[in-house]
Amino acid sequence: MSCISPNLPLPRSVLPTWASCRATTSTVSQSPLASFGSSQERMRRALDAVRAGQGVCIVDDEDRENEGDLIFSAQTLSVPQMALLIRHCSGIVCLCLTDERVRRLGLPMMTEVNTNTQGTAFTVSIEAAVGVTTGVSAADRVTTVLAAVRPGARPEDLRRPGHVFPLRARPGGVLERRGHTEATVDLMALAGLAPCGVLCELTNEDGSMARLPEVAAFARAHSMPLLSVEDIAAWRRAAGEEKTRQAGQVA
C-alpha cells in the first residue's frame, strides 16, 4: 500500500488509511536497537548487567550472520540461566574462551582446516571429569563450564567429547573479528570479569533464527540489555583513542 501525500486534501474515508500509513512509516524508521538507547548507553547497561551476574543479548551485523545471541558470564553462570539458554536458544551451548585458556586446557581444534563461512573456531566438545551424569542437563552443563573456567583448571579436569562446545576467540577481539565469540570475551574483560562467557543463538518458536526485532522483543520480555557487536567495537576504539591521547599528553 502506498502512502498518500499529506499535502493533498483527503476524503474523510481515507484518513484512517493515512494514519495507519504514517504509523507504519514511523515504526520502520525506528530501529529496534535504538529503542535501547545510544551505543554508549547500551554498553554501560550491558557492563552493569554482566557484573551483576545477569544476561545480555548481542546482535551482529545484518550482512554477517544477522542473529542474536543470549550471553552470560561463565564464572557466574547458574543452573536457571543455563536452563533459559536451553529453552529459548538453538541448544548448541558454547563456551567462549581466550586462546591462552584453550591452550592451558589442552583443547585441540575441532578441525585443522576451518572452512566455516564465518571462521567460527570450535574446539573439541567437553564434559566435566567429575560431578556430572549424562552431561546434557542444565546442571551438568553448568558443572562443565565452571570446571573449564575455574582458576587453575587443567586438561585432566575435562573429558572429550561432551555436551559443551568451546569457542576460541581471536586475540584482537571484535577489532580483529566481528563475531559473537569475540564480543562475549571482550564484554567480560571490559566489565572486569574473567574473559570467558557462555552463549547460544536465540531462535523463534518455529525453530527459525531470531533476527533483530525478535531479539529485541526477547530482551524486553526478560528485562535484559541489548547491544551490538559494533557497540563493543566502538567502545574499544574510543578507549584506545583516549589512551593514545593521554600518552601524548604525558610525553
Q: Which pLDDT value is given to residue 9?
A: 45
Extract the annotated binding site for D-ribulose 5-phosphate.
Answer: 64-65, 69, 177-181
Count of domains in the chain? Answer: 1
Extract the annotated binding site.
Answer: 64-65, 69, 177-181
Q: What predicted TM-score, i.e. pTM, was given to this entire model?
A: 0.85
Q: Which pLDDT value is given to residue 61?
A: 79
**Residue located via cell numbers 575455574:** 150
Asked, for residue 217, whether it belongs to a domain, the answer is yes
Asked, for residue 20, whether it belongs to a domain, the answer is no
Asked, for residue 19, whether it belongs to a domain, the answer is no
Asked, for residue 54, whether it belongs to a domain, the answer is yes
Residue 26: other Cβ atoms inside 10 A = 9
Can you name the residues that pair with 226 across neighbouring β-strands?
57
Asked, for residue 31, whether it belongs to a domain, the answer is no
Asked, for residue 203, whether it belongs to a domain, the answer is yes
Q: Which pLDDT value is given to residue 63?
A: 66
Cα dihedral value 145, 151, 156, 159, nearest 10 = 0
Domain coverage including residue 142: 36-249
Asked, for residue 29, whether it belongs to a domain, the answer is no
Asked, for residue 5, whether it belongs to a domain, the answer is no
The CATH number that applies at residue 216 is 3.90.870.10
**Closest C-alpha among 171, 195, 194, 176 to residue 185:** 195
Extract the annotated binding site for Mg(2+).
Answer: 65, 180
**Closest C-alpha among 141, 153, 146 to residue 74:** 146
pLDDT in tens, the chain (251 residues): 444 444 444 444 433 443 344 444 444 446 899 999 999 999 999 999 999 999 999 999 776 667 999 999 999 999 999 999 999 999 999 999 999 999 999 999 998 888 988 889 999 999 999 999 999 999 999 999 999 999 999 999 999 999 999 999 999 999 999 999 999 999 999 999 999 999 999 999 999 999 999 999 999 999 999 999 999 999 999 998 776 667 666 65
